[in-house]
Amino acid sequence: MDIIFYHPTFDTQSWLAGLQQQLPEARVREWREGDNQPADYALVWHPPVEMLAGRKQLKGVFALGAGVDSILSKLKAHPDMLPAGVPLFRLEDTGMGLQMQEYAVSQVLHWFRRFDDYQAQKQQANWQPLDEYRREDFTIGLLGAGVLGGQVAESLIAWGFPVRCWSRSKKDYPGVTSFAGAEQLGDFLNGTRVLINLLPNTPQTVGIINAGLLEQLADEAYVLNLARGVHLVEADLLAALDNGKLKGAMLDVFSQEPLPVDSPLWKHPRVAITPHIAAVTRPDEAMAYIARTIRQIEKGEKPAGEVSLQHGY
C-alpha cells in the first residue's frame, strides 16, 4: 500500500513518521513535484493539481481538515484533478468537536453573564451590577448542523439554553429544534439571540450572513462565526453593530486571512477576533482516524466522512 502526503505548512517528517507507525504495512512518502509513482491513498491540503490528476488507481483522498472547500474550488477550475469515482474524505472530528465546544460554550457564557458589558464598564471605571439575562430569552441558533454542529448543540444544551439548528435537511438531535431549507430559515432566525455559524462553504452559503439575515434575528443579538469568512458580509455585520441590531460579534474566520491591518473589524469595540484557531487539526487523532478509515476501505467497508461532491460537504 502506497500513501502520498502533501501539506504546505505541517511538519511533514513528523506526519510521515506518525503515519508509518499507524500503518506499518504502508509505504508513506512526501509528494514532490514530478512524483508520478503509484499511490493508493493521498493525504492533502491545498494540493497542486498535478498531485492528483490522472491517479485513477487512488482508493481515497483525505483532506487534512474539516473543510474541503480548497479542493472543491480547484475541482471547479480543473474538473479532471480528482479522477471519477475516487472518494474524498474529510476529517470529521479528530478532536475538532471538543475544541468547537470549548470555543462556543466559553463565548456564549461570556455574553450570557454580560462580561462584555462589564469590560466596557471597566474602561470607564464604572462599578455597576447589571441585570441578569434569562436563559429562556437566550435562544442559540446553529447555522449548519453537521457533525461539529451536533456536538456544539449538545454542549450548549447541557448549560440549559434553548438550542435550535438550521441545515439543508432536518436533524434529530435530542433537545434541539430543527429547521431545514430556505422556507424555514426565517422561522429559525426569529427569536435567535446568539447565531453560531458552522455551515460548509458552498456556492449557496457564500454571503448568507448579510443585512437581510441579521435583521431577522432578535434585537441585540450576537454573532459567532466559526466556519468560513466568506459566509459573512463584514460590512453588513459592522452596520448592524453600529445601528444597535447586534450587540456583539466573535469572529474566528475572515474573507481574507490574515485579516488586513486596516480592516475596521480590528478597532470595533464590540468585535472580538481570534486568528482561525477555533478547531485545529490534531495530528495524533487525525492519523488514527485516517489509519482506521483506510483499514475499513481495505476491508471493503464504507467508512463515514466521505464528501458529497454534489453538495460540497
Annotated active-site residue in 114, 276, 282, 295: 276
Sign of the CA dihedral running 22, 28, 31, 36: negative
Q: Which of 33, 1, 31 is nearest to 16 (CA)?
A: 31
Residue 57, C-beta contacts closer than 8 angstroms, at least 6 positions apart:
38, 39, 40
**CA atoms of 188 and 178, how far apart (whole Å):** 8
Long-range CB pairs of 50-54, under 8 A, 24+ apart, other chains included: 51/4, 51/6, 52/81, 52/82, 52/83, 53/78, 53/80, 53/81, 53/83, 54/80, 54/83
29 is a catalytic site residue: no
231 is a catalytic site residue: no
**CA atoms of 49 and 65, how far apart (whole Å):** 18
Annotated active-site residue in 164, 168, 228, 231: 228
Provide the annotated active-site residues.
228, 276
